[in-house]
């Protein structure tokens, strides 16, 4: 089974004072735009009968996960599974794909292709280039001298 997700974390802006005594410029205030530390997304896959967790992963440093905006997760177990998606302060899109043959009783309503058209041959973590239209982009701007 493959779980593919994309997230758009909330953005926060804050100001920070930096000291440039070495260069003789004095203190400067900079404005920092970055992902909210309270933005997170979590995927949990567990056995429906025993509750054993097969996979728990996601986005967000607050939960101890990485900051990849797009991920493909792979679960190799065969079982009756429960998939949970939890989030905070974030917009997320997730897609789950399983091979229909052998997993779904009535496969007549499906295209029997065993290939998943939405995933790469070898799923991997990847960092996409952030753009203003898709996600918050960390930027740094120098402010006025204090």
pLDDT of residue 78: 86
Residue 31 · residue 13 · CB < 8 Å: yes
Please give the pLDDT value at position 112: 53
Full-model pTM: 0.65
Angle made by CA atoms 29, 32, 38, in degrees to the nearest 5: 135
Please tell me whether residue 126 adopts helix, strand or coil conformation: strand
pLDDT (tens place) for every residue of the chain, 146 residues total: 899 999 999 999 889 888 877 777 778 888 888 899 999 999 999 999 999 999 999 999 889 999 899 999 999 988 899 999 999 999 999 999 887 666 666 656 655 555 554 444 444 454 444 444 444 545 544 444 44
Residue 127 structural domain? 2-145
Strand (E) positions, 38-131? 40-47, 53-59, 70-74, 81-88, 90-97
- Report the number of distinct structural domains present in the chain: 1
Provide the pLDDT for residue 58. 95
Task: Tell me the DSSP string of 15-27.
Answer: EEEEEETTTT-EE
The rounded distance, in Å, linking the Cα atoms of 26 and 19 is: 6
Give the C-alpha separation, 60 to 83, whole Å: 19
């Amino acid at each position: 089974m493959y779980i593919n997700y994309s997230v758009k974390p909330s953005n926060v802006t804050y100001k920070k004072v930096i000291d440039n005594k070495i260069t003789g410029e004095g203190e400067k205030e900079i404005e920092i735009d970055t992902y909210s530390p309270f933005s997170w997304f979590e995927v949990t896959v567990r056995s429906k009968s025993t509750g054993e967790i097969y996979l728990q992963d996601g986005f967000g440093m607050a939960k101890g996960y990485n900051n990849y905006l797009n991920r493909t997760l792979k679960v190799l177990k065969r079982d009756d599974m429960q998939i949970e998606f939890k989030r905070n302060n974030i917009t997320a899109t997730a897609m789950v794909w399983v091979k229909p043959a052998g997993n779904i009783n009535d496969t007549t309503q499906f295209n029997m292709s065993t290939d998943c058209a939405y995933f790469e041959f070898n799923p991997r973590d990847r960092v996409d280039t952030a753009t203003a239209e898709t996600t918050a982009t960390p930027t740094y701007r120098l402010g006025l001298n204090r």
